[in-house]
């Protein structure tokens, strides 16, 4: 595969969630990523070999880590690798004999990237959990949702992938850059609680600056502001409104056929609830398609809220390749884009273990 990471060898120790997503991102950008799975297939969301496209673009080897032969194969792969993605709980890789200290002599440049929810150290490091638990501890989940309802989890995008896989990839690339200067690899401790906390720094800044309230649906970005929220239309579909800047807000009022002289000032929070009701009544009077016609080509920052099928058919996303279709499967394209390093169309995931001989030959493992 072409791309800026061509030539980089990555071993992904099979799992679910942010580890595979991180391996997908590296593979999308050209890395030769190999997924290690149990002989019968690792734990994943796939239903058959080609449905879990988060495992796209990389080959799969089978290794039973309960046998000497399986451990030997994984050790041989790691010895040849630039990067290992370890999604095990702390201490598991060491018990299997494939922890980072095992390779300080055979592969001193190895970047050993460890993906966990709680981190490698701390009171909860050995505890179990999932995305919702991790973002719950950081304070971010508390801020999501409506006033009179429990917090609403934002799928698992904020924790597993925003604070997890993206920060793991950031750590890998930073460690590789440092290796170019020192010649030495290192361990990357990527914890979802750390990544989500880092993602949340802009909100912490607003909170510390006294311009964010420590409660849901009371702030400019959490659905309280009438100019930054979603509204239902007469056909049961929705529009998203993001008219924060004064000139965008003015365009919003124009489209709604409202005179700003008849409304409170935009940032008067004491009036937001009443203005919300007024805007909601207007948006509910017409279909989403009508509002697309009204606001299309304007600076009002009003766009349709698309479902998955609609997004897959969206002209902008299709023309950019943000969403693509391969073998009849709709999925994300490769991101980001580069001016010189072209990336290939992602390849379908392989059947678990089907590439073992091929990978061993390519990586010089006997």
**Percent of the chain whose pLDDT exceeds 70:** 96
231 pLDDT above the threshold of 50: yes
5 pLDDT above the threshold of 70: yes
pLDDT band for 1, please (50, 70, 90 cuts).
low
Mean residue pLDDT of the chain comes to 94
B/e letters for 306-324, b = 16+ CB within 10 Å, e = fewer, are beeeebeeeeebeeeeebb
Q: Which neighbouring-strand residues pair with 304?
A: 239
pLDDT at 348: 87
Q: Which of 89, 97, 90, 94 is nearest to 72 (CA)?
A: 97
Active site residues: 130, 160
**Percent of the chain whose pLDDT exceeds 90:** 88
50 pLDDT above the threshold of 60: no
pLDDT at 47: 42
pLDDT at 366: 84
The pTM for the full model equals 0.94
Q: Which domains does the chain have, with CATH numbers?
A: 9-200+334-363 (3.40.50.10540), 228-313 (3.30.1540.10)
Residue 340 CA to chain centroid, in angstroms? Answer: 25
Helix 166-182 / helix 192-199 crossing angle, nearest 10 deg: 100
80 pLDDT above the threshold of 50: yes
76 pLDDT above the threshold of 80: yes
pLDDT band for 2, please (50, 70, 90 cuts).
confident
Pairing mode of beta strands 83-86, 187-191: unpaired
pLDDT at 40: 65
48 pLDDT above the threshold of 70: no
Give CA angle at 193 (164, 133), nearest 5°.
Answer: 95
Q: What is the mean pLDDT of residues 202-206?
A: 97
Round to whole Å and give the CA distance between 99 and 296: 55
151 pLDDT above the threshold of 60: yes
pLDDT at 343: 87
- The H or E element that residue 80 is part of is helix 68-80
pLDDT band for 246, please (50, 70, 90 cuts).
very high
pLDDT at 43: 41
The Cβ of residue 126 has, within 10 Å, a number of other Cβ atoms equal to 11
pLDDT at 42: 46
pLDDT at 117: 97
pLDDT at 44: 44
Report the SS3 class of residue 180: helix
């Amino acid at each position: 595969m072409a791309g800026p990471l061509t030539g980089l060898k990555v071993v992904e120790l099979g799992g679910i969630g942010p580890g595979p997503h991180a391996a997908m991102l590296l593979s999308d950008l050209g890395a030769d990523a190999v997924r290690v799975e149990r002989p019968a297939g690792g734990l994943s969301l796939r239903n058959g070999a080609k449905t879990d496209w988060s495992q796209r673009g990389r080959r799969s080897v089978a290794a039973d880590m309960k046998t000497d032969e399986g451990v030997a194969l994984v050790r041989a792969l790691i010895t040849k690798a630039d990067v290992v993605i370890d999604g095990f709980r702390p201490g598991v890789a060491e018990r299997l004999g494939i922890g980072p200290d095992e390779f300080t002599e055979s592969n001193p440049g190895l970047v050993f990237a460890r993906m966990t929810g709680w981190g490698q150290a701390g009171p909860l490091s050995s505890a179990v959990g999932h995305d919702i638990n991790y973002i719950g501890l950081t304070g971010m989940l508390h801020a999501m949702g409506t006033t009179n309802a429990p917090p609403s989890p934002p799928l698992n995008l904020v924790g597993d992938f925003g604070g997890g896989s993206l920060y793991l990839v950031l750590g890998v690339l930073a460690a590789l850059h440092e290796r170019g200067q020192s010649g030495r690899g290192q361990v990357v401790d990527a914890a979802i609680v750390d990544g989500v906390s880092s993602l949340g720094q802009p909100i912490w800044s607003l909170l510390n600056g006294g311009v964010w309230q420590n409660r849901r649906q009371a702030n400019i970005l959490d659905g309280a502001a009438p100019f930054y929220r979603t509204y239902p239309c007469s056909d049961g579909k929705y529009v998203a409104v993001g008219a924060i800047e004064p000139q965008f807000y003015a365009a919003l009022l124009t489209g709604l056929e409202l005179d700003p002289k008849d409304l409170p000032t935009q940032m008067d929070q004491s009036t937001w609830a009443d203005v919300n009701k007024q805007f909601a009544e207007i948006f509910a009077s017409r279909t989403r398609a009508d509002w697309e016609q009204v606001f299309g080509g304007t600076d009002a920052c009003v766009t349709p809220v698309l479902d998955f099928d609609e997004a897959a058919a969206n002209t902008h996303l299709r023309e950019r390749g943000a969403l693509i279709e391969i073998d009849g499967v709709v999925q994300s394209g490769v991101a980001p884009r580069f001016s010189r390093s072209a990336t290939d169309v992602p390849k379908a995931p392989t059947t678990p273990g089907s590439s073992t001989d091929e990978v061993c030959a390519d990586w010089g493992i006997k």
